[in-house]
Amino acid sequence: MNPDASVDYVLILLLPLGLILLGGLCVMADVVLLKRRGDADSVSSFIGSGSRPRPGLRLASVFLFTIATAVSTRDLLILLRETSTLMLSVWMGIVATGISFLILLFGILLPRALGETLHESLPIRAIAKLTHWLTVWVDPLAELGWGAVTAVLALLHLDRKRTAEESEDEVLQIMDEGLESGAFDPMEKEMVEGVLDLDEQSAAELMTPRSRVTWLDLEDLDEVNWRRIAGAGHSDYPVFQGTHDNIMGMVDVKSLWANVSMTGGVRLADVLTPPLFVPATMTATRLIEEFRNVRRHVALVVDEFGVVEGMVTLKDVVEAIVGRLPERGVRQQYPEIITREDGSWLVDAQLDFAETATAIGLVFSKEELEANRYQTIGGYVLHHLGHIPIEGEKFKQDGFRFEIVDMDRQRIDKLLVSRLPIPTPTLPGSSK
């Protein structure tokens, strides 16, 4: 064999393989930076805070893989320039398959596996230096490429603008990759998705509807309002006078109890604070900004005519990101039923009757349920009362005491339910 030909064959093998291994090193560095994102300051100190290391590494790996393919193809054409067209086509197919396999094995799969396995032991400073070196020569190429793309689009009278949807898709793609590699937890991904969706959710979607808000009326006796506060267990209450459209202010329970402890007694009208009104169309992101600017955490949501539709809190926004949060004293199986310290239950009257009965132990017959006289626990109360009740009205039925805590016009809103004590049987002949 000609010694010069042997050298040529060695170069054909080593040069593309070296480029593939270098590209694989970029892939491994990319995985290490993803896994050790907490050491981002160490990387930024080497490459500068304005650089984007991971996109640079990805671009460098693609560039090196492309050069490896081009070099191997060029060398093959030079060596086989005197062969027939048929043999050249066969060899081109073999080389293309071999290069693709080498790139897949030594350029992508093996480096990713090494990065995920050895990311804790690899020196982050060495990775940062490699990233800095690659960024120096890759970034100009990237800028040149995007400049060429912009010029071509300009000739075609097209304007490529980076949309918010594209940016969000890239973030979600990174989260998916991090989830596969173990760098992110599923909960972290869900929270990021929740944050990205905030701008698409309005205050009307997050709020507690007006019919489910616990209201306080200045025209009611203090005893009635105290009972509503104690029964609902919330932190903030809207206060009206006469009608729900005549909003007088908001009451913060902490401030209320602080005044009670200092003075021994307080009127609701003395501790009212001006309410924060926000339009129903306000996005969740704007709502957070509004809460931050006015230093509040609760607002009343109004429609275009200024009518209150509901109430939204900072907690509602947080739940849009992390999911439903538990309430103190709330049964997880029945989130609209609050168990109080004395063993009684504060019940949403719109809750399904059968579900409520199961939760509190109310015994009912199958025939009663199939009669379809009522669907909700509020309907059950109306059926046995036979009239529209007033707040504070009580009655006993089926071993329970029911008290109407709150009404929304003609509709029962909240009920206080407690189990009646079991009477002690009197033995024959016992003295009274």
pLDDT digits (tens, 9 = 90+) for 38-50: 555 555 544 444 4
pLDDT above 90 (res 300): yes
The helix (run of H) or strand (run of E) holding residue 261 is helix 253-263
pLDDT of the residue at 330: 43
Q: Which of 78-82, 230-234, 372-376 has the lowest mean pLDDT?
A: 78-82
E strands, 253-296, in order: 277-279
Q: If you ran DSSP here, which 8-state letter would residue 350 be given?
A: T
More confident call, 312 vs 152: 312
Residue 154 CB burial class (10 angstroms; 0-12, 13-18, ≥19): exposed
328 — pLDDT class (breaks 50, 70, 90): low
pLDDT of the residue at 81: 63
pLDDT of the residue at 282: 92
Whether 218 and 268 have beta carbons less than 8 Å apart is answered as: yes
427 — pLDDT class (breaks 50, 70, 90): very low
Nearest Cα to Cα of residue 131 among 35, 51, 64: 51
**Please, which residues bridge with residue 407 across strands?**
412
pLDDT above 70 (res 398): yes
Nearest Cα to Cα of residue 59 among 178, 175, 145: 145
- The architecture in CATH of the region 337-419 reads 2-Layer Sandwich (3.30)
More confident call, 410 vs 103: 103
pTM over 0.75: no
Residue 85 CB burial class (10 angstroms; 0-12, 13-18, ≥19): exposed
Amino acid at 329: G
pLDDT above 50 (res 273): yes
More confident call, 321 vs 85: 321
Q: Scanning the structure block, which residue is given the tokens 């640079």?
A: 56
The structure tokens listed for 83 are: 């062969």
φ/ψ bin of 360: left (φ > 0), alpha (ψ from -120 to 50), beta (otherwise): alpha
pLDDT above 70 (res 366): no
The structure tokens listed for 212 are: 């489910």
88 — pLDDT class (breaks 50, 70, 90): low
pLDDT of the residue at 46: 46
Q: If you ran DSSP here, which 8-state letter would residue 210 be given?
A: G
Domain boundaries, the chain: 3-161, 203-322, 337-419
Q: Scanning the structure block, which residue is given the tokens 């209320």?
A: 256
More confident call, 77 vs 22: 22
The structure tokens listed for 210 are: 């007006």
Distance CA 37, CA 174 (A): 12
Average pLDDT over every residue of 302-311: 89
Percent of the chain with pLDDT over 90: 12
The helix (run of H) or strand (run of E) holding residue 313 is strand 308-313
pLDDT above 50 (res 87): yes
Average pLDDT over every residue of 215-224: 85
- Per residue in 226-254, pLDDT (tens digit) is 878 877 778 889 999 988 888 999 988 88
The helix (run of H) or strand (run of E) holding residue 395 is strand 394-397
311 — pLDDT class (breaks 50, 70, 90): very high
Average pLDDT over every residue of 294-307: 90
pLDDT above 80 (res 149): no
CB count in 10 Å sphere of residue 336: 19
DSSP string, 326-338: PPTTB-SS-TTEE
336 — pLDDT class (breaks 50, 70, 90): confident
403 — pLDDT class (breaks 50, 70, 90): very high
Average pLDDT over every residue of 96-104: 84
Q: Which CATH fold would you assign to the domain 203-322? A: CBS-domain (3.10.580)
More confident call, 179 vs 387: 387
Instruction: Produce one character per residue of 245-256: b if its CB has 16 or more CB atoms within 10 Å, e if not.
Output: eebbbbbbbeeb
Nearest Cα to Cα of residue 346 among 402, 414, 255: 414
Percent of the chain with pLDDT over 70: 72
Integer-rounded Cα Rg, in Å, for the chain is: 35
Q: If you ran DSSP here, which 8-state letter would residue 283 be given?
A: B
